[in-house]
Amino acid sequence: MPYDAENTLRHDWSVEETESLFNLPFNDLILRAQTLHRQYFDANQVQMSTLLSVKTGGCPEDCAYCPQSAGHDAGIKAEKLMAVDDVLAAAKEARDGGSTRYCMGAAWRNPKDKDLDDICAMVEGVSALGLESCATLGMLTDAQAARLADAGLDYYNHNLDTSEEFYGRIITTRTYQDRLETLENVRQAGLKVCCGGIVGLGEDRRDRAGMMMALANLTPHPESVPVNMLVQVEGTPLAGTSALDPLEFVRTVAVAKTMMPASVIRLSAGREQMTDEMQALCFLAGAASIFTGEKLLTTPNPEKDQDASLFERLGLSPAPPDDRPA
């Protein structure tokens, strides 16, 4: 179905209304999310994307969850930007393994204009391999977003991460407003938006509702909404945070799908820590994409065989690339 053909997508959610979705009986919430999901997607297809950290570690930002912050002692060595050919060799391998989108991440507050020469060459090479491209490089100016769009970039990932109220507990080196400005620059450049957040940071349900409200009130909705479960890394300030109830994670996926039914909800970081049963519930709640490949950016991800067996057991097949216009 075309994106919002019947103009049914809402952008005027309140936090109370969003919280009331979280408070629904589990079965009612999941049924609602799955029913909406089927209006827009084939419910038995899951898209596969692969990540590569093209510039690892030494980041000047202080995101409390992140092993790549220079301020955290998480054992990640700061590296330079990778060579274009090495990135393209890894992208080819991902494509041959069935992935349809290649996502390049850099541990930057923002890219320098001269960094974009190589990044644009990576984007062009990834597109030439027949893959969709995505990049996540930190904050972007409008001119930088336009340059990436000119190079043929399909998606830009920039997350809100959490609610506006909880945000200051997690990051102090850039504001919620900074993030919204980058998202606006990305949208204005005609790129598709990949924007989501993390749960399990020690936030409460109202914060999860606040994050979902902020995402769903973006107009238009982000085409892609990653829902990450915190991967706790020793040496980061959030290591040792009480684990989130897995069913609360499933609820978060279902609320995202209910509020943004035409968007692809991505089961992102944290799958390595999830049971197959939990992932199955996430697909039932409307998640329609995963990251494949042995690593996310710096942390482990399930093995290829494990994912293949999960797809087989659930009767899922790989989804084709999403060619809806931005």
Looking at the chain, how many residues does it have? 326
Residue 12 CB: number of other CB atoms within 10 A?
9
- Say whether residue 103 binds ligand SAM (CB under 6 A): no
Give the residue from 217, 214, 258, 220 showing the smallest Cα distance to 11. 217
Residue 275 CB: number of other CB atoms within 10 A?
9
Give strand pairing partners of 265.
225, 287
* Token pair listed for 48: 């596969």
Per the listing, tokens 């990653």 go with 226
- Say whether residue 138 binds ligand SAM (CB under 6 A): yes
Give the residue from 227, 147, 136, 225 showing the smallest Cα distance to 188. 147
Q: How far is the CB of 305 from ligand DTB (least distance, A)?
A: 20
- Say whether residue 231 binds ligand SAM (CB under 6 A): yes
Count CA atoms within 13 Å of residue 203 on its CB side.
30
Q: Which is nearer to ligand DTB, 189 or 233 (CB)?
A: 233
Of 49, 50, 228, 289, the one binding ligand SAM (CB under 6 A) is 228
Q: How far is the CB of 298 from ligand DTB (least distance, A)?
A: 4
Q: Please choose, out of 36-44, 85-93, 158-166, 184-192, the segment that lies near ligand SAM by the rule CB under 6 A.
A: 158-166
Of 22, 32, 61, 189, the one binding ligand SF4 (CB under 6 A) is 61
Compose the 97-136 pattern: x for residues touching ligand SF4 by CB under 6 A, - for all others.
----------x-----------------------------
Q: Which residues are catalytic?
A: 59, 63, 66, 103, 134, 194, 266
- Say whether residue 72 binds ligand SAM (CB under 6 A): no
